[in-house]
Amino acid sequence: MFAVKNRKIFFAISGVMLLVSYTLMLIWGFNVGTDFKGGTIVEVKYTENVPEKSVIEEALKGLNLGDASVRRAGETGFIVRMKDLSADDQELLKSAMSVNNAYPYELERLNSVGPTIGKELTEKAWVAIVVIIIITILFIAYAFRGVSFSKGKGVSSWVYGFVSIVALIHDITIPAVAAVIFGKFLGMEVDALFVTALLSLLGYSINDTIIIFDRIRENLKENQERNLGESFENTVGKSLSQTYGRSINTSLTVFLVLVSLLVLGSASVKFFILTLIIGTIAGVYSSIFLAAPLLVEINNRRRK
């Protein structure tokens, strides 16, 4: 009952976080990567001596291929992003990365994305997110039909769907603003991996929320069958108590795996893993302290 009784405190916390998040997004914006604005990205790992960042930047300036963004990738690697290059220019870029063969390296990746493809990826990313939201609302409204009310208590099945979407928006906003902050101070770029992380979080977060909602549904059924006069608020509080352990333990397992990947994995997926970690934490918070208590708040306002 802790989350339900103190729901206004948690609503205020979520409100402040969302307000700060959207403010930072408007002020700083996303550091959009090559996948969406088009360009060439090359990642190398030096096998012997590692040059200074300034040395690489100076070598790239001599190519006269335009501005280049040079960023470290781990202890021995660098990631370079430039405008969309032709095949010949890409060969010049790879040659320049060795700085006249003074610094041997292994090519980790070299991707080239045109502006048209980048625009198409952006549109498809938005379509995927919107489709997931619509399907979620319809599925939950259908799954919770017929058990929404117990003796006049409770909320419509459509409200379950609406609350789930509120939780989803919360869960993707937090890692999204983290990407804005990382982009501002650490050079993180929003790319296809970031969108993949958000879509993964959408599926994971809604799963956790539905588990709690399903427990509420089962308890409402039991109240109907046993002709109990338990209030909707107590039913939700009891349902949360019954699912705390499962939600936290499942998320903790995922969290430990992600931390292991962050420590042991490649530098190229570091921000992808960080996005998943932050989203996982936000998902646990929203499922327990936002989604279920919001059902109670809507029910109380409906009754008034």
Give every CB contact of residue 233 below 8 A, 6+ residues apart in sequence. Answer: 4, 296, 299, 300
Other C-beta atoms closer than 10 Å to the C-beta of 100 total 8
Q: Find the domain containing 228 and state its range.
A: 2-33+117-303
Q: What is the DSSP string of the chain?
A: -HHHHTHHHHHHHHHHHHHHHHHHHHHH---B-HHHH-EEEEEEEESS----HHHHHHHHHTTT----EEEEETTTEEEEEES---HHHHHHHHHHHTTTTTS-EEEEEEEEE-HHHHHHHHHHHHHHHHHHHHHHHHHHHHHTTT-SEETTEE--HHHHHHHHHHHHHHHHHHHHHHHHHHHHHT---B-HHHHHHHHHHHHHHHHHHHHHHHHHHHHHHHHHHTT----HHHHHHHHHHHHHHHHHHHHHHHHHHHHHHHHHS-GGGHHHHHHHHHHHHHHHHHIIIIIHHHHHHHHHHHH-
- Range with lowest mean pLDDT among 62-76, 107-121, 199-213, 229-243: 107-121
pLDDT of residue 115: 63
For 277-281, what is the mean pLDDT? 94
Q: Single out the residue in 113, 143, 159 at which a domain terminates.
A: 113
| Number of compact structural domains in the chain | 2
Q: Which CATH number fits the domain that encloses residue 274?
A: 1.20.1640.10
Shared domain check, 267 and 238 = yes
Residue-wise pLDDT for 67-97, tens only, equals 788 888 888 899 888 888 888 888 888 889 9
Does residue 140 sit in the same domain as residue 242? yes
Q: Give the model's confidence band at 176: pLDDT under 50 very low, under 70 low, under 90 confident, else very high.
A: very high
**Domain's final residue, options 58, 88, 113:** 113
Choice between 121 and 65, residue whose per-residue pLDDT is larger? 65
The reported pLDDT for the residue numbered 200 is 87
- pLDDT at residue 110 in the model: 87
Pick the more confident residue, 232 or 122.
232
One domain for residues 201 and 230: yes
On whether both 130 and 93 belong to a single domain, the answer is no
Q: How far apart are CA 255 and CA 257, in angstroms?
A: 5
Q: Please identify, among 63, 96, 113, the residue that sits at the C-terminal boundary of a domain.
A: 113
The rounded mean pLDDT for the chain is: 86
Predicted confidence at residue 281, as pLDDT, reads: 93
pLDDT of residue 207: 84
Q: What's the average model confidence in pLDDT over 127-144?
A: 83
Average pLDDT rounded to a whole number, residues 255-273 = 88
| Residue 117: per-residue pLDDT | 62
Integer Cα distance of 286 and 217 in angstroms: 19
Same domain, 199 and 140: yes
Check residue 148 and give its pLDDT. 58
Q: Are residues 174 and 237 in the same domain?
A: yes
Does residue 19 share a domain with residue 159? yes
Inform me whether the pLDDT recorded for 119 exceeds 80: no
| Stretch 219-247: mean pLDDT | 86
Question: Does 271 lie in the same domain as 131?
Answer: yes
Q: Are residues 273 and 145 in the same domain?
A: yes
Q: Are residues 235 and 292 in the same domain?
A: yes
Specify whether 224 is located in the same domain as 201: yes
Is 236's pLDDT higher than 60? Answer: yes
CA distance 43 to 192: 16
What mean pLDDT do residues 240-256 have? Answer: 89
pTM metric for this prediction: 0.81
Instruction: Give the model confidence (pLDDT) of 191-210 as tens digits.
Output: 888 888 988 888 888 888 88
Neighbours of 177 (CB within 10 A): 21
> In CATH, what number is assigned to the domain containing residue 73?
3.30.70.3400
What pLDDT digit, counting tens, does each position of 136-173 carry?
Answer: 888 888 887 766 555 555 678 888 888 999 999 999 99
- Are residues 66 and 84 both part of a single domain? yes
pLDDT confidence of residue 82? 86
